[in-house]
Amino acid sequence: MPMLEIESINSFYGDSHVLFDVSLQVEEHEVVALLGRNGAGKTTMLKTVAGVLSPRSGSIRLAGEPIHGLASHQIARRGLQLVPEDRRIFTTLTVEENLRVAALIAPAPWPIDEIFAIFPLLRERRRALGGTLSGGEQQMLAIARALIRSPRLMLLDEPFEGLAPVIVDDLVALCRQLAESGVTIAIVEQDVRAALLLASRVYVLNNGHVMFEGTREALQADPELTGRYLGIGLETGNFSDL
């Protein structure tokens, strides 16, 4: 049974039709990337899955249970955690306070020491206010806030945006560690190469339509598709190495 199964979703912003009969699925313990140019509908897809935006039609199931039409907090309590593009940490709370607040609304939160074992840099900065953290540290905290809630599925929206390449490498390694530990992840990311270091399977969206579904190797082998819908050329190479 897929961890996430989406069938024929249609989503709108007001009268603007944004997603057109989109279907996709994410298997348990899998990492899937949603790629596409700006305005392709990727973030709308994540917001629809997380309940921030209600679909007009179609179905969404989390581990076989329907979640479309539920409020975002109800979906979160069922084990789906969205890490939004703007991170939304509490800038006036410390790192540790951010984590403890997140744990308060979790049915079965992870022990904070386990979170700090995964994020040793956050342990070092546990007394620092969220607003004083670097961009990379804030992104780590946003991911840690989601992880402490024991997610069955994490949705990452542009986690590497605006970060220096060395910080992106660190975050890719961290996300890979989470995936190898069994966390199921769907990632939206403009940095295609970073996304493909994590994801084994890929969906490419364009103007609210799914244009490609397949493995990263199949995507890499199709330069016409990557040029047309992603604006890049992916040379054959080994994406397993950072």
Q: Could you tell me the residue ranges of all domains in the chain?
A: 1-79+153-242, 90-151
- Give pLDDT, residue 233: 64
What angle (nearest 5°) sits at the alpha carbon of residue 141, between those of residues 89 and 25?
A: 95
At residue 15, the pLDDT reads 92
List of E strands, the chain: 4-13, 16-26, 31-35, 57-62, 65-66, 80-83, 153-157, 184-188, 201-206, 209-215
One-letter amino acid for residue 51 of the chain:
G
What's the pLDDT score for residue 62? 97
- Other beta carbons within 10 angstroms of residue 65's beta carbon come to 10
Alpha-carbon distance of 51 to 128, in angstroms, equals 32
- Is pTM, for the whole model, over 0.95? no
pLDDT tens string, the chain, 242 residues long: the values are: 899 999 999 999 999 999 999 999 999 999 999 999 999 999 999 999 999 999 999 999 999 999 998 999 999 999 999 999 888 999 999 999 999 999 998 888 999 999 999 999 999 999 999 999 999 999 999 999 999 999 999 999 999 988 888 888 888 988 888 888 889 999 999 889 899 999 999 999 999 999 999 999 999 999 999 999 998 765 544 444 43
Q: Are 141 and 133 in contact (CB under 8 A)?
A: yes
Instruction: Copy the structure tokens of residue 104.
Output: 């308060």
Predicted local confidence at residue 1, as pLDDT = 83
Strand order in the sheet with 4-13: 16-26, 4-13, 57-62, 65-66
β strands within 27-168, DSSP E:
31-35, 57-62, 65-66, 80-83, 153-157
- Predicted confidence at residue 231, as pLDDT, reads 84
- Tell me the C-alpha distance between 216 and 231, whole Å: 16
Q: How far is CA 108 from CA 174, 183, 185, 190, in A?
A: 22, 15, 19, 33
In the prediction, which pLDDT does 180 show?
A: 87
Cα–Cα separations (whole angstroms), residue 75 to 14, 31, 54, 87 = 23, 20, 12, 19
Class for domain 1-79+153-242, per CATH?
alpha beta
Rg (CA), the chain: 17
* pLDDT computed for residue 236 by the predictor: 46
